[in-house]
Amino acid sequence: MQRTGGFFFKKCIDRINTQLLVSKAKPASIVSSRTHIKSNTDPRYFTLVQHAKSRFLDEQRRSGILSHKIEVNRARLHFETTGDGPNIILLLPGALGSSRTDFEKQLTDFNKSDYTLIAFDPRGYGKSIPPNRTWPLEFLQRDADDAFELIRKLNIHKLSILGWSDGAITGMIMAARHPDIVNKLVIWGGNAYVTEKDIEAYRGLKDIWKWSEKMRSPFMTLYGEEYFQKTWEEWVEAIEKYFTKRNGDICKDDLKNIKCKTLIIHGLKDPLVGLEHPDYLHHNIPGSRLYIMPEGKHNLHIRYHREFNFMVEHFLKET
């Protein structure tokens, strides 16, 4: 899983960081009300901008996680990077998910000398707002196209994918459509189709106030109640369209085209994705492996992050 074009990848990231710093260092945010600067040609302006840039970089370096934005398919998408290893991993979040709500323990705990991690917020999610989320019939296919275009713009020619829930679907679609760039695929909580039973489970969670406080809180903080409730309801309705307009098929035909080594992880106690789904994926993705985590639920990579990270890093290091 050697990184190809690594130097140019770093140059792309440096360029994006510079653009981000300039956008962050606006006069209104760095000049006190007692400082009178007539225009950005004033030498004091450039001094203040440099101080703002330095503070912003210091904050990012302390966390080891860098934040970026890039234009992708007419949307401005947010992504984060960490690590400087030769093996690139793309992290794909679940429904309404973002890099931090979904992958905090992977971004902080993976071996930074072995891996470079890239976690992106799909359009309308996380910090990739605006635009607000929209729902074409094949919205998950659109997310896969966006993820691929992001990687292309960063001049990355080989990587592995970690995808959770909707991100697992996005990852499968991307691996099937672009087998030449995907070295390994790790998916959990995903499905290639939806059943009537699945739809009933999603409808039962349509009201966010029926969620546990622990599950609801990160999304309330990220989006606020109005956007969170509206967008979640729209997600449920969009998934229902796969059931009503595509006979439940999300990406079944793509599975046979996945050529990379694939690890499927599933929580035996997952209340949203039944055991039939990982079984189906295992039997239809050539050469895939299936591991059942006995105590795992839908968010197994969060609750059991140490076991999950160890297993995934071991799989990624295999030759």
| Per-residue model confidence as pLDDT tens digits over 111-138 | 999 999 999 999 999 999 999 999 999 9
- Looking at residue 94, its amino acid is G
Asked whether residue 183 carries a pLDDT value surpassing 70, the answer given is: yes
Cβ atoms 222, 200 nearer than 8 A: no
Band of the pLDDT at 68, cuts 50, 70, 90?
A: very high
Q: Into which CATH architecture does domain 65-317 fall?
A: 3-Layer(aba) Sandwich (3.40)
Give yes or no for residue 49 having a pLDDT over 50: no
For residue 319, the model assigns a pLDDT of 85
Give the contacts of 34 (CB within 8 A, at least 6 positions apart).
none
Residue 22's pLDDT is 40
Give residue 5's pLDDT: 47
Per-residue pLDDT averaged across 151-166, rounded? 98
> What burial letters (b/e) apply to 218-246, b meaning 16+ CB within 10 Å?
bbeebbeeebbbebbebbeebbeebbeee
Kindly list the catalytic residues. 165, 270, 298
Select from 178, 206, 207, 174 the least CA-distant residue to 190: 174
Mean pLDDT of 277-303: 98
What is residue 203's predicted lDDT score, i.e. its pLDDT?
A: 95
Q: What is the pLDDT of residue 149?
A: 98
Model pLDDT for residues 80-99, shown as the tens digit of each residue: 999 999 999 999 999 999 99
Mean pLDDT computed over every residue of the chain: 87
Residue 157 burial (CB count, 10 A): 17
% helix, strand, coil for the chain, step of 5: 50, 15, 35
At 228, the pLDDT band (50, 70, 90 cuts) reads very high
Residue ranges of the chain assigned to CATH 3.40.50.1820 = 65-317
- Provide, rounded to the nearest whole percent, the portion of the chain with pLDDT above 70: 80
46 or 195, higher pLDDT: 195
pLDDT class of 163 with cuts at 50, 70, 90: very high
* pLDDT at residue 219 in the model: 97
What is the average pLDDT across 195-204? 96
Residue 181 has pLDDT above 50, yes or no: yes
pLDDT-derived band of residue 63, with 50, 70 and 90 as boundaries? low
Closest CA to 104 of 185, 222, 230: 222
The 10s digit of each residue's pLDDT in 4-48 is: 445 545 655 665 554 444 444 333 332 333 334 444 455 554 555
Q: Does the structure show a pLDDT above 80 at 227? A: yes
pLDDT (mean) for 139-161: 98
pLDDT of res. 144: 98
